[in-house]
Structure 1
Amino acid sequence: MSNKTQWQSVCSVDDLIAESGIAVWTADGPVAIFYLPNRIPCLFAIGHTDPFSGSNVLARGITGDLKGQPVVASPLYKQHFNLETGVCLEDDAVQVPTYPVLLDGNNVVLEVPVKSQVKEIA
């Protein structure tokens, strides 16, 4: 298995919704990108799959701040995931993957495996 990665455009800034998430597809699987314009950094990317249900729903969760940590609450069982580390606040043995993400002009770019094919999913 290769550890090589590349930065790849996954969506435009216009696709982002303040204080919310969108889902994109990568070779590594579905990824949830969150835009929190009142924080620095303002973009976060974590795995879109809720580890408790196996459903791709985390981009649909409610964002917030718990004890100074940016989090998303899963829309299914309400566990909170730290957007910086991916760790579940209710069970720190559970974690979702995190991905480096940044703005490149009007494009949101995500660090993904080299052979990634990216498309936006609904």
Structure 2
Amino acid sequence: MRKIPTLFLRDPDDMRRVTSDVHPDCQWVLDGEGTATRKYDGTCVMYDGERWWARREVKPGRATPAGYQPVMTDEVTGKTVGWEPVEQSSFATFHAEALDAIVDADQFAGPQLGAT
């Protein structure tokens, strides 16, 4: 569950800023080998064809939420990253609001939250 890299490398002295150096994993964008997608900051969610999931990070020694699906554990921090059902996550209200805001049904192929 690796995060999407930024086009430019981050400034090690201030990780909120980027440098003018291209991230090696993103050189293909400047080489014209595909179409980059703009990622807006927000909540990481996944639709698996049946239900919506929210990304969840669980610190070592903490209980996992009901229905949690672990994906990987960081060897350095001990944090486990995985998915929890979005309807029980702290983002449930925002997720439902985002789905309600979709006007054009062609933009979205999944069900509305709570639909079966």
Q: Which has the higher helix share?
A: 2
TM band (smaller chain): under 0.3
Structure with bigger strand share is: 1
- The normalised TM-score by structure 2 is 0.25
Higher RCO (C-alpha under 8 Å, 6+ residues apart): 1
